[in-house]
Chain A
């Protein structure tokens, strides 16, 4: 069998994927398989993601027809939805919220589901509260403290210093195994 990508070399890699009851078969030579991201036994993406995402290009409204600013853009990293469909990778966690309206159908195509049923992080309840996780919290307070000192906002600096002290005490406590 000849590789369906280059149509030159002998196909050596055969992949069959069933997505939403649609069968997707690929027969590729080693080079073309690598180009599609099927690298090695350790590769973590044994999945024709490009197929799904390029299939989406069809139902994405052409960018030139939509007024500027209407295209979905992630505020966290600046990635546009169109860039995402091309590269198949998100730039940051905020991308998921930014593209949420389109992701549901993508996730269903990939996973057959769009809703998480696995573990819930123990600490998600602390999200953005004063009890945010110590290391990141320490870092954030430290940079805020630096800014407060730089801008001579000493009242705030004192407040931040106390918070920082509390966080560090908490970290010290965690260091001691019970």
Chain B
């Protein structure tokens, strides 16, 4: 399964779109529940099956939904599940062992709908770069389509009802994946994070083996889903993203004027390791790519392309790597093959 997908880069990581040098992708997720049915975690298997059969009927009746690829959790093996997680098409909670779940993947992998995750329906749309509006529009297009066939749980005070009170109201979580090496290097990141959280947003780093934030990648998302209109959430996340981008640009400027030689050295070393190493862990690749990405934006390594950096980032994830080579591998084999893949991808790239 997904062999074709594994060989092509994800659309939402194409490196296109607004501010794509700093913002990798934007996601909008809508949580919805079918009225009158217990929520997946407390429902018996009969109810969960009924939800899936409702959704199946919607698929047969809706032209746009019927165009998606539809999979049952029971038919997706462990490697393919990890693959879909790495590709942001399902969540880790999809793997909680309840095999009644299904997932619909829309055209260009920009949309996915999980059935029977924490809520009956989780509709999410992804865009490359900073683009909350088009992610929202896409998710909403599918939500509207489904709402013509299924009635959602809704309350005039609490809005769309969700299994967790943190999602009630709009049921909407907008998030951006943002690359902030400058702020990490100048150590201003904590200051920025605490200001963002005061503004009612959540910031999280992707933590790896060490205490450093993996690849200097952060996820920023809205905390509140109730009491705000969808448009407010979209403009909130977009405004905050632009503020962070500006601060990151300031930090990079500071690095350039105060420590240009040191930064350049760091970038070139990272490029050298990626181009020549024989063994690479996925955490290592993420961190090295962070330096190279910074190098591209700072015009130190201009010959490399953002879309290539994104492609390597995705392909170096364990499940992607194994799908790409079409075989399951243990950790050591993966690290060896990963270095080989990175070398191949960078073969024609250089000063």
Interface residues, chain A, with chain B CB atoms under 8 Å away: 10, 12-18, 30, 38-47, 49, 76-77, 79, 88-93, 96-97, 100, 103, 106-107, 110-124, 126-127, 132-136, 139, 171, 174-175, 177
Q: Which of A12, A44, A106, A115 contacts B227 (CB 8 A)?
A: A115
Interface residues, chain B, with chain A CB atoms under 8 Å away: 29, 33-39, 41-42, 50, 54, 57-58, 61, 63, 85, 88, 91-93, 118, 122, 144, 147-170, 172-173, 177, 190, 193-194, 197-198, 200, 202, 204-207, 211, 217, 219, 221, 223-230, 232
B164–A88 contact, CB under 8 A?
A: yes
Chain B residues whose C-beta falls within 8 Å of the C-beta of A14 in the assembled complex: 190
The CB with the most chain B CB atoms within 10 A, among A14, A96, A100, A106, is that of: A96
Give A29 Cβ to nearest chain B Cβ, in Å: 10
B156–A116 contact, CB under 8 A?
A: yes
Given known contacts A30-B207, A93-B161, A134 and B155 CB-to-CB distance under 8 angstroms:
no
16 contacts between A and B (CB under 8 A): A17-B197, A18-B200, A41-B204, A42-B92, A43-B92, A45-B164, A77-B38, A90-B164, A91-B41, A93-B35, A93-B155, A110-B166, A111-B227, A112-B227, A116-B226, A117-B227
A93–B227 contact, CB under 8 A?
A: no
B36–A47 contact, CB under 8 A?
A: no
Chain B residues whose C-beta falls within 8 Å of the C-beta of A132 in the assembled complex: 151
Given known contacts A88-B164, A121-B154, A113 and B149 CB-to-CB distance under 8 angstroms:
no
Chain B residues whose C-beta falls within 8 Å of the C-beta of A118 in the assembled complex: 159-160, 169-170, 172, 228-230
B223–A47 contact, CB under 8 A?
A: yes
Q: Which of A45, A107, A174 contacts B61 (CB 8 A)?
A: A174
Given known contacts A93-B161, A111-B225, A115-B226, A175 and B61 CB-to-CB distance under 8 angstroms:
yes
B151–A96 contact, CB under 8 A?
A: no
Give A41 Cβ to nearest chain B Cβ, in Å: 5
A49–B165 contact, CB under 8 A?
A: yes
Chain B residues whose C-beta falls within 8 Å of the C-beta of A175 in the assembled complex: 61
A93-B34 Cα distance, complex, nearest whole Å = 9
A135-B149 Cα distance, complex, nearest whole Å = 6
Residue ID in chain A nearest B153 by CB atoms? A93
Given known contacts A44-B29, A46-B221, A114 and B157 CB-to-CB distance under 8 angstroms:
yes
Residue ID in chain A nearest B197 by CB atoms? A16
B154–A107 contact, CB under 8 A?
A: no
A121-B34 Cα distance, complex, nearest whole Å = 12
Chain B residues whose C-beta falls within 8 Å of the C-beta of A49 in the assembled complex: 164-166
A18–B165 contact, CB under 8 A?
A: no
- The 10 A-B residue pairs with the shortest CB-CB distance, nearest first, are A113-B227, A116-B159, A93-B153, A91-B42, A118-B170, A111-B226, A111-B224, A133-B151, A92-B38, A93-B161
